């Protein structure tokens, strides 16, 4: 692929609350990235929901006040919430996205527990430039799952099985479209045919989530709903082929979504990430496309036993016919 001239550098947004150590490691690894000095960073500091949040919250607040001008960013912008926004459709993350996307046509989103490779911002900004007019691409994912994916001379792959929110870039028009569809999209798309398509291509866990999003969902477009959205809309995400550019440190029971799991915690906290300062996009991304999709499904750490899936599936089918009669 020819050299890429980046005309617009995407801002980075990071919502946070009280995970002081994770947040500092995240922000400082981002400050050491190539092109950090060209990047505007926006921190959404949520307000404590209870007393257990206050110590970490205060430490983050003091750290940002002391280091605002010392970190190697074009600008570091701190948005302090006056009350707890939490998660969900109008939560800290979503409101932060809305605020920043009023001024930019693209954005890089990260949780506060990620560690970045030095070339993370290069990869993100080049990817957002290369694929900005390719509407078959939903987003640029910096995280690469620790599965035995196939690749040759290509440095990136395309897939629509597992969207990763652990550091991703997206364009304003595609983000707003996905957000605006929300629950109505999943409800209109839900059928037993689509349910089993998701099961066959994305796995049992995604299929069960598809049902949940259609009938009981908080409106937060994160990893799983975006994976299903990409599949149903026949869109792909771009992902590094050989090695991840993000290490996720949040599998320690400190976050909202993941409980401690010694095996997964070890895999993620020790995951090797790139040490390069640059990233060159080689290939088409379609190399081993079909084979890699099967690998994603078969190796997913979100897999559930078939016995559990089918037991829950029978309940879903019964509820589906009941809800279809009432809602459609």
**Positive/negative CA dihedral, 53, 218, 171, 281:** positive
* In a domain? residue 2: no
**Residues sharing a CB contact under 8 Å with residue 93, sequence separation 6 or more, in sequence order:** 13, 15, 44, 87, 109, 220
* In a domain? residue 4: no
Strand ranges for 127-196 from DSSP E: 137-141, 156-159, 168-171
| Order of strands across the sheet that contains 236-240 | 75-80, 40-45, 12-16, 106-109, 168-171, 137-141, 236-240, 156-159
Query: How many Cβ atoms from other residues are within 10 Å of residue 29's Cβ?
Result: 19
Whole-angstrom distance, CA of residue 245 vs CA of residue 272: 9
Whole-angstrom distance, CA of residue 241 vs CA of residue 274: 11
* In a domain? residue 3: no
**Residues sharing a CB contact under 8 Å with residue 115, sequence separation 6 or more, in sequence order:** 25, 26, 29, 246, 247, 248, 249, 273
**Residues sharing a CB contact under 8 Å with residue 122, sequence separation 6 or more, in sequence order:** 33, 34, 35, 277, 278, 279
The CATH number given to whatever domain includes residue 86 is 3.90.550.10
How confident is the prediction along the chain (328 residues), in pLDDT tens digits per residue? 668 899 999 999 999 999 999 999 999 999 999 999 999 999 999 999 999 999 999 999 999 999 988 899 999 999 999 999 988 878 999 999 999 999 999 999 999 999 999 999 999 999 999 999 999 999 999 999 999 999 999 999 999 999 999 999 999 999 998 887 766 888 889 888 999 899 888 888 888 888 888 877 666 678 888 999 999 999 999 999 999 999 999 866 655 545 455 677 778 788 999 999 999 999 999 999 999 999 998 888 777 888 888 888 888 778 777 766 665 4
* In a domain? residue 208: yes
Q: Report the alpha-carbon angle 74-78-84, nearest 5.
A: 155
Question: Closest by alpha carbon to 72, among 47, 38, 121, 99?
Answer: 38
Q: What does residue 233 show for φ and ψ, rounded to 5 degrees?
A: -90, 5
* In a domain? residue 198: yes
* In a domain? residue 189: yes
Question: Closest by alpha carbon to 206, among 184, 182, 222, 183?
Answer: 222
Domain that holds residue 72: 12-327
What's the whole-model pTM score? 0.91
Question: Kind and range of the H or E element at 308?
Answer: helix 306-327
For the chain, how many structural domains are there in total?
1
* In a domain? residue 115: yes
Which residue in this structure is represented by tokens 């459709």? Answer: 89
* In a domain? residue 5: no
């Amino acid at each position: 692929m020819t050299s890429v001239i980046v005309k617009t550098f995407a801002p980075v947004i990071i919502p946070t609350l009280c995970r002081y150590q994770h947040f500092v490691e995240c922000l400082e690894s981002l400050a050491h990235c190539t092109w950090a000095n060209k990047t505007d960073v926006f921190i959404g500091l949520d307000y404590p929901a209870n007393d257990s949040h206050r110590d970490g919250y205060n430490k983050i607040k003091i750290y940002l006040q002391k280091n605002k001008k010392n970190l190697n960013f074009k600008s570091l912008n701190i948005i302090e919430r006056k009350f707890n926004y939490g998660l969900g459709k109008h939560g800290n993350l979503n409101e932060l996205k809305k605020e920043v996307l009023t001024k930019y046509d693209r954005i890089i989103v990260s949780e506060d527990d990620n560690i970045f490779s030095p070339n993370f911002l290069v990869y993100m900004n080049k990817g957002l430039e290369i694929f900005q007019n390719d509407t078959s691409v939903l987003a640029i994912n910096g995280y690469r799952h620790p599965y035995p994916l196939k690749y040759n001379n290509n440095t990136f792959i395309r897939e629509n099985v597992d969207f990763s929110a652990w550091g991703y870039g997206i364009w304003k028009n595609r983000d707003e479209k996905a957000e605006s569809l929300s629950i109505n999209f999943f409800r209109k798309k839900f059928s037993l045919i689509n349910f089993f398509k998701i099961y066959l291509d994305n796995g049992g866990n995604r299929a069960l989530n598809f049902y949940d999003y259609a009938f009981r969902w908080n409106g937060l477009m994160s990893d799983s709903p975006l994976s299903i959205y990409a599949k149903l809309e026949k869109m792909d995400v771009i992902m590094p082929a050989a090695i991840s550019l993000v290490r996720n440190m949040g599998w320690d029971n400190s976050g909202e979504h993941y409980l401690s799991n010694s095996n997964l915690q070890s895999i993620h906290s020790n995951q090797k990430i790139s040490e390069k300062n640059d990233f060159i996009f080689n290939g088409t991304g379609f190399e081993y496309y079909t084979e890699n999709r099967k690998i994603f499904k078969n190796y997913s750490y979100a897999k559930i036993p078939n016995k559990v899936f089918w037991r829950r599936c029978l309940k879903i089918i019964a509820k589906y016919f009941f809800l279809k009669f009432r809602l459609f």
